[in-house]
Chains A and B, each alone.
Chain A
Amino acid sequence: MAEELDLRGEVCPYTFVKTKLKLEEMATGEDLTIHLDDPEAVANVSTSLKNEGHDLKELKSISPGVWMILVRKGKDL
């Protein structure tokens, strides 16, 4: 099942805190689509996702100033 998280308007570190909380509710192997509009957060969230063992599938700009991250949940710690 694919989940979505709209983090437009959110800044660090809450962008990753909310991403993390969302991923905790999901099962390993499930996909999550995240929308972000803070450039710093786009970089930070991607890095943090990789650091915590998730699979970053896609990162792209979908409209001016808005980015989409597709991540597959990794194993729980």
Chain B
Amino acid sequence: MSLKFTEDQIKRYSRQILLPEVGGKGQRKLLSSRVLVIGAGGLGSSAIAYLAAAGIGTMGIIDSDTVEISNLQRQIIHGGSLGAPKARSAKHFIRTLNSDVDVVALEERLTGENAREIIRGYDFVVDGSDNFPTHYLINDACVLEKKAFSHGSILRYEGYATTVVPEQGPCYRCLFKKAPPPGLVPSCQEAGVFGVLPGIIGSIQAAEALKFLLGIGKTLAGRLLCFNALDMSFYEAVAEKNKECVVCGDKPVIREILQKNCADEDAVSEVPERCNYGRGT
């Protein structure tokens, strides 16, 4: 990989190339990396913006929604795109920010049928989805495909993030065995959300993606980072691998993606003590 940078690239990425841990070598790595962002909402907005700015070579954006005016309080990449599919709007945003990035806009839902095949084509996945079935679906598909991903969730003023590196650390199911029953955790729509919160958590997810791709620093693998914007405090919980985890344990039960595995709502998830923060967006 001795691709020559153009003068524009040298200028665009100068502040990043100057970082001793990155350099030209790291920048080339980013330019040849592929990241999939699932959900172009609040978390996705900041994750997409920073990843595109950093020069990720190929970004996949999957979202089946269209931009509504109530999104714009926090979904900052969709200005001027009311009514447009969010994936398409995100692609337009990226094009105006950084033309080095190839964007694959998927105006569809991530499902049990397409998840593994879509995820397979990327080096890292950012979970910016807003519901439990999709969180579990992404987890299972990534574990089965051995793809690292960043998980983020927000509600009101609280959010959390963790990074899953299959075969190395715990997965989302190790942390949260099962989704809470419908209605227990209110959605963003019912509960409200502090607009900058997804900006902060989504930025953390982008940072995790970049560090993972560059192979630098320490990711949130094995740690659950909790954040409260009202107190402006961070708290970290240790996340341990569950040997009996149904998807990444010693004797995994889930060996393929089945819709029912992702929508198991018959028990409340186990939330680490002192870290009962927002779940779902």
A residues in contact (CB < 8 Å) with B:
13-14, 16-18, 20-21, 24-25, 52, 77
Q: Given contacts A14-B10, A14-B11, A18-B10, is CB(A77)–CB(B20) below 8 Å? A: yes
Interface on B for A, CB 8 Å cutoff?
Answer: 2, 5, 10-11, 14-15, 17-18, 20-21, 23-25
Chain A residues whose CB sits within 8 angstroms of the CB of B23 once the complex forms:
20-21, 24, 77
Interfacial chain A residues near B18, Cβ < 8 Å: 13, 16-17, 20
Residue of A whose beta carbon sits closest to that of B25: A24
**Most chain A CB within a 10 A radius of its CB, from B15, B18, B21:** B18
- Contacts beyond the supplied A24-B24, A77-B20: 17 A-B pairs with Cβ under 8 Å: A13-B14, A13-B18, A14-B10, A14-B11, A14-B14, A16-B18, A17-B10, A17-B14, A17-B17, A20-B17, A20-B24, A21-B5, A21-B23, A24-B23, A24-B25, A25-B2, A52-B20
Residues of B within 8 A of A20 (CB): 17-18, 23-24
- The DSSP consensus for interface residues of chain B is helix
Residue of B with least CB distance to A48: B18
Report Cα–Cα, A34/B24, bound state, in Å. 18
A21 to B17, CA, bound (A): 8
Q: For residue B15, which residues in chain A have a CB less than 8 angstroms away from its CB?
A: 13
Cα distance, A52 to B11, chains bound together (Å):
20
The answer for the CA separation of A17 and B25 in the assembled complex, in Å, is 12
Chain A: which residue is nearest B16 at the CB level? A17
Query: In the complex, what's the smallest C-beta–C-beta distance from B270 to chain A, in angstroms?
Result: 42
Q: How far is the CB of A68 from chain B (nearest CB, A)?
A: 22
Provide the residues of chain B in CB contact with A21, threshold 8 Å.
Answer: 5, 10, 17, 23-24
In the bound complex, residues from chain B placing their C-beta under 8 Å from that of A52 are 20
Which residue of A has the minimal Cβ distance to B24?
Answer: A21
**Minimum CB distance partner of A16 in chain B:** B18
Residues of A contacting B5 in the complex (Cβ-Cβ under 8 angstroms): 21
* Docked CA distance A13–B14 (Å): 7
Residues of A within 8 A of B11 (CB): 14
Q: A20–B18 Cα gap in the complex (Å)?
A: 8
In the bound complex, how far is the Cα of B9 from the Cα of A18, in angstroms? 11
Instruction: Give the distance to chain B from A8, nearest Cβ to Cβ, in Å.
Output: 15
* Shortest 3 CB-CB contacts between residues of A and residues of B: A21-B24, A17-B14, A24-B24
With a cutoff of 8 Å between Cβ atoms, the chain B residues found around residue A24 in the complex are: 23-25
Give Cα A77 to B17, complex, Å. Answer: 13
Q: What's the nearest-Cβ distance from chain A to residue B217, in Å?
A: 13
* Contact B21–A77 (Cβ < 8 Å): yes
Q: Which residues of A contact B24 (CB under 8 A)?
A: 20-21, 24
